[in-house]
Amino acid sequence: MDNEKFKDSAEKMATELAKFTRDMDLNEEMFLDLIEDSLYPVEQFFANYSCAIMEIETKFKVLNEQFSLKYDGNPIESIHSRVKDYDSIIRKVIRKKIPRDLDSIEEKINDIAGVRVVCSFVDDIYRLADCLLQQDDITLIRRKDYIKNPKPTGYRSLHLIVSVPIFLENEKKDVKVEVQLRTIAMDFWASLEHKIRYKKNISPETLSKLSHELTDCAEISASLDSRMQNVRNLILSENLKK
């Protein structure tokens, strides 16, 4: 829809809403109640994802604590979570031709809740993922290993789509969360690549040069991860000998 058509439709909706309020003889209080009631399902929809994020974050924090006692060091450097914003959801709905109702959006979009776990070492990623998936309230829906099979761009991360139950006032609800596990080096690369990809004032030639450069950087970064892992393995094996 172009901007003009969008403006027209928005104006029509506003006029119809004003007419409805007049026809129904609604005062300000009743009008606000009506808006609140109509927004309730949408607010509940987003709240469910925030709750699921809390559940998953807590699970990782508990694992981090336990690992730090067992292996003498925290495997998790940081955790970043977000509920996908309304605009991005709508853009995905349009791009993937998903029916425009909350049930379909919930069924078809897997990354409305996202938790990104950043670790120092690659083996911590797999250990944490295994521990999460062993928990009996977690259901694995999809696993994509972009560390073993990097994307052509050079992108690396382990992606899990899981479902976790949340306990509401009168019901238990399974909610999907996308978990991305990556090292600090993978995270640094992905953030930079993401920023550059969405830069508007770069010519297509420069963009193409940059993406080759970034793919090279991804290789260097993966090799650094692998060397750091070797350093860690050496230290661990020395410690074991003592």
Stretch that binds ligand 0O2, among 31-39, 56-64, 126-134, 189-197 (CB under 6 A): 189-197
Q: Is 153 in the site for ligand 0O2 (CB under 6 A)?
A: yes
Q: Judged by CB under 6 A, does residue 91 bind ligand 0O2?
A: no
Question: Token digits for 102?
Answer: 């909350």
Residue 49 interacts with ligand 0O2 (CB under 6 A): yes or no? no
Residue 178 known to be catalytic? yes
Nearest-approach distance from CB 7 to ligand 0O2, in angstroms: 27
Residue 75 CB, shortest distance to ligand 0O2, in Å, is: 21
Closest distance of CB 151 from ligand 0O2, Å: 5
The answer to whether 106 contacts ligand 0O2 (rule: CB under 6 A) is no
Q: Whole-angstrom Cα distance, residue 85 to residue 109? A: 13
Binding of ligand 0O2 by 199 (CB under 6 A) = no
Nearer to ligand 0O2, 127 or 144 (CB): 144
Least Å distance, CB 179 to ligand 0O2, is: 11
Residue 111 lies near ligand 0O2 (rule: CB under 6 A)? yes
- Both structure tokens of 150: 């990097």
- Measured from the CB atom, the residue of 68 and 206 that comes closer to ligand 0O2 is 206
> DSSP letter string over the chain?
--HHHHHHHHHHHHHHHHHHHHHTT--HHHHHHHHHHHHHHHHHHHHHHHHHHHHHHHHHHHHHHHHHHHHTS-SEEEEEEEEPPHHHHHHHHHHTT--SSHHHHHHH-S-SEEEEEEESSHHHHHHHHHHHHHSTT-EEEEEEETTTS--TT----EEEEEEEEEE-SS-EEEEEEEEEEEEHHHHHHHHHHHHHHT-SSS-HHHHHHHHHHHHHHHHHHHHHHHHHHHHHHHHHHHHHH-
Stretch that binds ligand 0O2, among 47-55, 70-78, 151-159, 205-213 (CB under 6 A): 151-159
Q: In the numeric block, which tokens belong to residue 32?
A: 């606000």
Cα 211 to Cα 201: distance, rounded to the nearest angstrom = 15
**Is 155 near ligand 0O2 (CB under 6 A)?**
yes
User: Taking CB under 6 A as the rule, does residue 159 contact ligand 0O2?
Assistant: yes
Q: Pick the binder of ligand 0O2 from 21, 50, 110, 163 (CB under 6 A).
A: 110
> Sign of torsion, CA 157 158 161 165?
negative
Nearest distance from C-beta of residue 124 to ligand 0O2, angstroms: 20
Decide whether 19 or 151 has the Cβ nearer to ligand 0O2. 151
Separation of CA 204 from chain center: 29
- Check 16, 106, 178, 213 and give the catalytic one: 178
Q: Which residues bind ligand 0O2 (CB under 6 A)?
A: 110-111, 144, 151, 153, 155, 159, 190, 193-194
